[in-house]
Amino acid sequence: MPIHRAQVAHDHYQDLASQLDTLRQGRRRDYLLTGSVIVLFILLLWSGSALLPEVTQLGSDAAVKNTTRFINELTPLPLRKTPTISVFLDWAGGLLAENGWKAMLVTFGIATLGISLAGAIATPLSTIAARNIASTSPAGVPLGARSPFNALLWKTCRWIARSVFILTRAIPEYIYAFLLLSIFGPNLWPLILALAIHNIGILGRLGTEVIENFPDNAAAPLLATGGTRSQVIISTILPQSLNRLLVYFFYRWETCVREATVLGLVGIPSLGLLIDQARARMFYDEMFFYVMLGAALVLAGDITSNFIRAKIRNSD
C-alpha cells in the first residue's frame, strides 16, 4: 500500500512537471522587456563604477572631521556652555518669539490658501474632464441632439480641461514662484498662486478619476427623469464622491505645507527664509531649529488630516 501511494505521488509529480515545462516552452517571450532589464543592469553597473571614487570619499578623514564639526554646531550655542533644559527653553522661546511663530503661521496660511484655491478651481473642471459626464450621453442616458457637432464639442471641452491639468502639474511650484515674483513682487501671493496652479493639475486629475469611476446607475435615474447635468453633479455625484475628494484634498494639503517651507527660500518671510538666512550666517543650530519647526508643522498637519480622514471613512 505505501509503495502504491509513493508511485501515485511520483506519477502526479511527473505530470505536474511536464505541464509546467509545456507552459514554460509556450510562454510569450517579451524581448523588449528582457532587453530593458539587461540594459538597466548594465547602467547600474556603469553608474556604480563611476560613483565608486565618490563613495570611498565618504569615509575619508576630512569627511569624518567635517561631519563631527557639523554635528557639534547643531547643538544650540548656549547649551555648549551650560547644557540644561532651562537654557534650551530660553533659547528656543527667544527664537519662537522673535520670528518662529510668525513664520509658522505664514507657512501654514500659504499652504492652506493655496490648496483651497486649487480645490475650488479643480473640482468644477473635473466634471468637464470626466468622460461619463462631458458627453452627449452622460451616465449612458442620451441628452439633447446626438449630432457629430455636439459630440465634437464635448470632446473638445474634455481635451481642454485635461490639457489644463497636464500643463499645470507639469511645471514645479518653484518655477511658478520665480515667474510670479516678477509680476507681484516679494509678497505672499507668488507662493500661494504657485501652489494653487500646480495643485489644480493634481487635484483635477484625481478628481476626474473619482468622477469617472462613479457608477452610472446612481446618476442615470435622475437624468432619465428630466434632470440636467448640473443637477446630477450637485445633488448626486459630488455629495457621494465628497469623501474621496476630501481625502485627496487633505493629502495635497500636507504636501503644500512642506512645499511652502521650501518655497520660502525665494525670499518670502516664512520658515524657508529663516532657514536660508541661518544657513547663510552658518548658524546651524538655528537652522536646525527652524527645520524642526517645519517638521512639527507637517506632523500637526498629518495628525489633523488623518483624524479628519478617519472621521470621513467612519461616516461611510
pLDDT for residue 117: 95
φ/ψ (deg, to 5) at 109: -65, -40
pTM: 0.72
User: Does residue 39 fall inside a structural domain?
Assistant: no
Residue range 219-244, pLDDT digits in tens: 777 777 777 778 888 888 888 888 88
Residue 148 predicted with pLDDT over 60: yes
Residue range 259-276, pLDDT digits in tens: 887 777 777 777 888 888
Q: Return the residue matching grid coordinates 537652522.
A: 287
What count of residues does the chain have?
316
CATH number at residue 138: 1.10.3720.10
pLDDT for residue 270: 78
C-alpha cell of residue 95 = 527664537
User: Does residue 42 fall inside a structural domain?
Assistant: no
284/273 Cα distance (integer angstroms) = 14
Q: How far is CA 160 from CA 72, 134, 145, 164, in A?
A: 55, 12, 22, 6
Three-state secondary structure readout of 250-294:
HHHHHHHHHHHHHHHHHCCCCHHHHHHHHHHCCCHHHHHHHHHHH
User: Does residue 97 fall inside a structural domain?
Assistant: yes
Residue range 41-71, pLDDT digits in tens: 888 777 766 666 665 566 666 667 777 777 7
Report how many domains make up the chain: 1
Q: What is the mean pLDDT of residues 141-170?
A: 84
Q: Return the residue matching grid coordinates 448626486.
A: 236
Domain containing 161 equals 88-314
